[in-house]
Structure 1
């Protein structure tokens, strides 16, 4: 079996706080953040959580989060698996993720 294809994302040193904050400044992307923050270690498939947008808009929001360094995406078979880059973000910006997640209203 071949290794999953990891989609391009910034290295830890390339993640910038302004890009992360801009990526998290959208309600749909905050919903994605909530979903990936509670996902199992293997991640969550991009279509496994409800969002109030169509497929192409979902893809756009996931790309924004990936390019900002908030998530990683990898292709496993026919699924795109998403993981939160918690370790990287916590190392670079201590408390940021916890603060954002705590401030989100309950589902």
Structure 2
């Protein structure tokens, strides 16, 4: 019984520093996610990867936004985003708080 307790104690001691790194990474990832949520994405300057972080927007819709932007020029209103294929009024309502022009 003492051997088992000793082994568990030593194992826990050895794993503790590793778990701290995992926790630190988790906290860092959460902080980055929160920061991205707080910042609005500019439709006229955002990259494909940035657009793909928006709720409901994957790579295909992000590419469609960029294609629209290249074809018709910069967005002049947020409502104009509804003209992009695959983005309707409901999607636009979800995105309003996350985007800017």
- TM-score scaled by length of structure 2: 0.30
Q: Give the structure with the larger helix fraction.
A: 2
Q: Give the structure with the larger strand fraction.
A: 1
Work out which structure has the larger RCO, using CA pairs closer than 8 Å and 6 or more positions apart in sequence: 1
Q: Which structure: larger Rg?
A: 2
